[in-house]
Chain A
Amino acid sequence: MDYTSIFPLMRAELTLTAILVLLFLYDLIAGERGRRWFSAVACGLLVVQVIVTLVPAPAGELFGGMFRYTPMDGVVKGVLAVGALVVCLQSDTWLRRDDTRHKQGEFYILTLSTLLGMYFMIGAGHFLMFFIGLELASVPMACLVAFDKYRRYSAEAGAKYILCALFSSGLMLFGISFFYGTTGTLYFDDLAARLTGSPLEIMSLVFFFSGLGFKISLVPFHLWTADAYQGAPTAVTSYLSVVSKAAAAFVLFTTLVKVFAPMVEQWQTLLWIVTVLSITVANLFAIRQKDLKRFMAFSSISQAGYIMLAVIGGTPLGMTSLVFYVLVYLAANLAVFGVLATVEQHADGRISLGDYNGFYRTNPRLAVMMMLALFSLAGIPPFAGFFSKFFVFTAAFQAGFRVLVFIALLNTVISLYYYLLIVKAMFITPSDAPIAPFRSDNYTRVSLALCLAGVLLLGVVSAVYDGINALSFGL
């Protein structure tokens, strides 16, 4: 075997591992003074990671097809790294608090471990490899959710998350083992040739799907979402809602299209039902939420439903629109969570909808930032969210799912209603005790500026979409 070929193909994983080790050593060696610079060091290393990941390289396979790489994988890994970077920028204030300062290193190492897991999940060419990646992404995530372990909500959320994750992993393994039973292989390429679509395989497909559906939080595998999002520290919630979800959605697309191609009719039906359920049920729940983190949980479930619109056709256009949607969603959602996190830090954990009454009067810039992000999530032109929604609708429509697109369109009206509820609270509803004016830290500012650029520019600068589109042919 030619070991030199490992480096270009696995460069994202290798650098990420190196960064993990470096941060681990830094945590050990750096004293109290050195730790003050922890976020700077971590963010700097993540920037390196983003650059290394985005360097183009030709596609290839390693370890007898256990691991593979395509240029599109590189782009997605880069996008995930950007997401992780923004989350790290936003978590700085929170990590500097007395009760978390001593475990900053743990936060970064756990976060980056899950990222590494996602990378392996994306690069997998074999179900065992895939499962290891999935678990590497799940188990440290449970620790992150329970990171504020002395806070009751956080601990409870962590417990719920790990129990649900175990259950879904079990079900998934069950499904995978049946695949092995019926076909005698777990290699993606071999499976694609041997699947027949027997009832047993259909059940296995649904079980496998439920495992990823859990990560993407699709109805009916979503029930953990609201509790975990609410209980977890806000930085973790934003990581969970964007990076983890994006990775799983991308993997779902590639496995469905590549591995389960013989069962396309079955999984399209499955996705059809799950998409309608996700968008509709999540919207119905979102309307009544008062806690904004819980609200964002349901919003993210419904957004996941929209992402499935890109998956369902299984076309190159779907792939382009999926990656573009994820990128735009990342910018807008992280902007919202960035504002939520910084407000939570500066205003004693105020996080309910009512707390945001009169927010515009006291913190106009943050309010406008939040409004733009919400507009993008709701898909109002000319913000990026409009274009990304437009592309996923086009992808699904061209694949022939017209009724589905119609239902999704109706749901955008409902989603517009609840996103505007927040805007109304911030701009119109007066308040006796509004959140006092404050100045957010520089890390948050940088992260919000990045997100704002994404919200405003991604839709208008067509080079981004064209660049993704160029890679998606041949999937």
Chain B
Amino acid sequence: MEYTILILLLPFVSFLLLGLAGMKLRPAVAGAIGTAVLAVVAVLCYATAWEYFAAGRDASGVFPTLVPWNTVWLPIAGDLHIDLGVLLDPISVMMLVVISTVSLMVHIYSLGYMKGERGFQRYYAFLSLFTMSMMGLVVATNIFQMYLFWELVGVSSYLLIGFYYTKPAAIAASKKAFIVTRFADLGFLIGILVYGYYAGTFTFTPAAATLAAAGTMIPLALGLMFVGGAGKSAMFPLHIWLPDAMEGPTPVSALIHAATMVVAGVYLVARMFPLFIGYAPEVLHWTAWIGAFTALYAAVVACVQSDIKRVLAFSTISQIGFMIVALGVCTSDDPHTGGLGYMASMFHLFTHAMFKALLFLGAGAIIHAVHSNEMSAMGGLRRYMPLTHATFLVACLAIAGIWPFSGFFSKDEILTACFAFSPVVGWVMTAIAGLTAFYMFRLYYGIFWGRENRELHAAHTPHEAPLTMTLPLLVLAAVTCVAGFIPFGEFVSSDGLAYTIHIDGSVATISLCVAVAGIALATWMYARREQPVADRLAERFSGLHRAAYHRFYIDEIYQFITHRVIFACISTPIAWFDRHVVDGFLNLLASATNGAACLIREMQSGSVQRYCIWFLGGALGLTILILLIC
């Protein structure tokens, strides 16, 4: 399966071509090249998945881990070396399929959405770069390669968020995303170094003896790695960059900030899962609590946002929280006794990528039609955009967890895993699932039903998006309808053995009831033209409402800590020291050098006699010096 290296090389070539020669190409040609390359990559990914899973399980009943391509890139010492290669196992193959599908849909969609934008070629170059980086991340054969591509993903995300570089908000958002994730990546890097030092390797399968000898250092390393993962996956309190990242073009939000990059943290935990379970289960359970709190926090905030992309952003944060919780509640690597969460998390990652991309692309179509992100500019759009409406509704039903859409199945597995771990977690997550149904349908009614902004719509009649944009919506909607019936446990499970998914009747009933209740509540509050209940509630709990609207002032707290505490109390004195003491010393050195240069210029007089005197004098002087010293 050596051709898998092409999955990385092709988008890279496309990036180089579009990045270097893009300005010489017509936008349509550049877009066609980018999309065609990605179509080939997608076909390669499907072929890889087909060939990999069709090859079947080995004698011990698991899918073998293949490394079709590997090269030692940087030998450090002994067994410690950094490799670059391609690693295929069930989760990396699954991720390849997810990334290539969503990326291809976004590429096609962007042909319509970004049409006529300045820098269209640059946009496609960045998309290719991002796809390459993300693919490299998931097929990494070792943690260091993962880190390299992890950073590349961060860079391309930065470039894409700041794509509208003339817009101050976009620039601020791109910087914020980069700095926050970079800050978190510091933890990741330290974790990798600690891991490399104590495990003696950067691969994912160190020798058990060295791990046992490392004692508490392995849990520490894994915890630090999770900090990096929390940054990329927007876990509380490192989530602050994701809502702002919505300043980027909407297809980018669909690709990077909904389906692929933000789940890198989940993927990281899944990748290190054997080590987490074996050596640091308590760290794993901590991540579950962080995930649960994030899910709750983001769901509450999502209930009151008015910018539709922000609602989706917080919903993404909340759903990633679900995935982290699912991983965190695992207590063993046997899916029958406490290891179900691993499969559930990966399953939810898969289904969520599809329906969240669908939601974002749908939101893009809506924004494209009304030229605003605010819900106040929408309402009643179902008449103007029937196709978008239908696909959006499918996605909303999926995320709310209604049978037979894909979200129902994966969320059900997560809840089952949570109940198995502790009823408290189970009930909390069920409540958040209900909240999810509520805020998603608030969004849905706010866009397609509810109060219509007639003045705006009269001035500029909303229209259905072009085919390049609706086609991806239809494809993703179809996937969302059927993905739940994929026997996911047959492919991915915590111990690698085949696991047959069976719906737990009581959990399924509870979660369905809660979801329906959430939808019903949203229908009662928001479906009609007048919304007395919602308005009254907002007035009654105005303090809570305002706090939630301002995301509980987390950004302001960051602002206070960085500006008032770090900048004022630590950075300013250090800057003074640098400017006056360090620079002063160097200035002194420079002026001394200059002065010395003036003093000795007589030596180079230009007269040969003088030169010879220096020559002889130098030789004799050196002789005397050596006689004295030695």
Contacts and interface: CB of A to CB of B under 8 A. Distances in A.
Interface of A: 159-160, 163-164, 167-168, 171, 199, 202-203, 206-207, 210, 214, 219-221, 223-224, 226-227, 265-266, 269-270, 273-274, 281, 283-285, 287-288, 414, 417
A219 B627 CA distance: 19
B55 interface: no
Query: Size band of the B side of the interface?
Result: 20 to 34
Given A207-B619, A220-B614, A163 B604 contact: no
Interface stretch (B46-54, B215-223, B521-529, B592-600): B592-600
B626 interface: yes
Contacts of B598: 288
A288 B597 contact: yes
Contact of A220 (B615, B623, B630): B615
Q: Which 10 A-B pairs have the closest CB atoms?
A: A220-B618, A223-B611, A284-B597, A206-B623, A210-B619, A203-B623, A167-B612, A163-B608, A206-B622, A266-B630
A417 B591 CA distance: 13
A171 B617 CA distance: 12
Interface of B: 590, 593-594, 596-598, 600-601, 603-604, 606, 608, 610-612, 614-623, 625-627, 629-630
Contacts of A283: 593
Given A227-B606, A266-B630, A287 B593 contact: yes
Given A163-B608, A206-B622, A266-B626, 15 more contacts: A171-B619, A199-B627, A219-B618, A220-B617, A221-B615, A223-B603, A223-B604, A223-B610, A224-B608, A224-B611, A269-B625, A281-B600, A284-B593, A288-B598, A417-B590
Contacts of A281: 600, 603
Contacts of B608: 159-160, 163-164, 224
A281 B598 CA distance: 11
Nearest to A166: B612
B604 A273 contact: no
Residue of B593, B601, B621 contacting most chain A CB atoms (<10 Å): B593
B20 to A, nearest CB: 16
Contacts of A220: 614-615, 617-619, 621
Chain A interface, >50% SS class:
helix
Give the one of B604, B616, B625, B627 with max A CB within 10 A.
B604
Contacts of B601: 285, 288
6 contacts: A167-B612, A167-B615, A210-B615, A220-B619, A266-B630, A285-B604
A202 B597 contact: no
Given A223-B604, A227-B606, A414-B593, A269 B615 contact: no
B605 to A, nearest CB: 9
Contacts of A214: 615
Most buried by A among B596, B608, B619: B619
Contact of B626 (A159, A219, A221, A269): A269
A242 to B, nearest CB: 22
Contacts of A202: 623, 626-627, 630
Contacts of A284: 593, 596-597, 600
A265 to B, nearest CB: 5
A261 B418 CA distance: 78
Contacts of B621: 220
A101 to B, nearest CB: 32
B596 A269 contact: no
A269 B598 CA distance: 28
B618 A273 contact: no
Contacts of A285: 597, 600-601, 604
Nearest to B628: A269
B626 A206 contact: yes
B621 to A, nearest CB: 8
A164 B625 contact: no
Contacts of A270: 622, 626
B625 A273 contact: yes
A414 B618 CA distance: 25
A171 B622 CA distance: 14
A265 B594 contact: no
A172 to B, nearest CB: 10
A167 B613 CA distance: 10
Nearest to A174: B619
Contact of B622 (A163, A164, A168, A273): A273
B390 to A, nearest CB: 55
A207 B623 CA distance: 9
* Most chain A CB neighbours (cut-off 10 Å) among B594, B603, B626: B626
A173 to B, nearest CB: 13
Nearest to A411: B593
